Structure 1
């Protein structure tokens, strides 16, 4: 019985050794985001940070105005009081991130995802959230203050949030 078990165990180990091992490398987006964080200050305005990844970033009060942030990832980050005015965050993903008192005036956030994020007291005047996924309680709070029309897409903030 032990010979069968030993043989079976040897066969499984041999098979595991033949399987390709996973590659462990940072993506170019993660590398670019880390390099960008090393610049002095928190002024990212007007830059192209498409597909950048920010994990546990402390960027309270950072300036992302007029920045290209399509496909950006914010994971467990602090972006309270950050300025995203006229930025494009379409197709982005944010998880466990604070956007408390952030400025999203006239921002474009098409098909973005905000899960377990706080958008409390954010200025969303003229922001377009069309197709975005946002926690229900956040949508309810945002609908209470939603106003304006995005100057680029022509969509009202209330319409983009599907406010009732």
Structure 2
């Protein structure tokens, strides 16, 4: 990102108070700053991998919170022990992906394809996975607390769910509300 101005927030506020005393003027200045990036603001940690081909890529142990992998192809990639909280995997191909020990809390997995994925000890608490496909996925110790799933998908996951998550201490079958 190119810095167009080296204002500190304090200098900026003083400048605004002097030249834009009205509330409307202040918001005009704030809008201009946001639009033109007049003040250096560090880039967000979130990355955009939308629609990228990331086959066999190693993301293990990485912090990727709030990143987006919408419609990305991550087939056979390694995301083990990655921090994936709030990540969007909407429509992504996660076939044979290693998500062992990954934190997918509040991630979007809707329409994702997790066929053959390794979800051993993964945390999916609060994730949205309504139309996700989990055929052949390994679920040992996965935590599905408050995950939004279709009933038929939930029933299918209950057939193979086993174990207890070592981080949350929750039983996989209980988090899936298996009866």
TM-score, normalised to structure 1, is 0.77
Does residue 152 of the first structure (1) align with residue 152 of the second (2)?
no
- Alignment map for 1:92-131 (pairs within 5 Å): 92-131=107-146
Consecutive aligned runs of 4 or more in structure 1 exceeding 3 Å deviation: 27-30, 37-41
Deviation at 1:126, TM superposition (A): 0.3
Alignment of 1:63-78 (within 5 A): 63-78=78-93
Q: Deviations over 1:14-59 (max 9, x none)?
A: xxxxxxxxx8xxx9566x1339x68895100000000111121011
Q: SS at 1:141's partner residue?
A: helix
Contact 2:86 2:108 in 1 (8 A): yes
- Distance in 1, matches of 2:138 and 2:125, equals 17
Q: Which has the higher helix share?
A: 1
> How many Å separate the matches in 2 of 1:40 and 1:116?
22
User: Do structure 1's residue 90 and structure 2's residue 109 form an aligned pair?
Assistant: no
- For residue 153 of structure 1, give the secondary structure of its aligned residue in structure 2: coil
Equivalent residues in 2 for 1:36-75 (5 A)?
Answer: 41-75=56-90
Unaligned stretches of 5+ residues in structure 2: 1-34, 36-42
Greater strand share, 1 or 2?
1
Distance between the aligned counterparts of 1:110 and 1:40, measured in 2?
26
**Structure 1 residues 42 and 152: alpha-carbon distance in aligned structure 2, compared to 1, 3 A threshold:** same
For 1:7-46, list aligned pairs within 5 A: 28=44, 32-34=47-49, 41-46=56-61
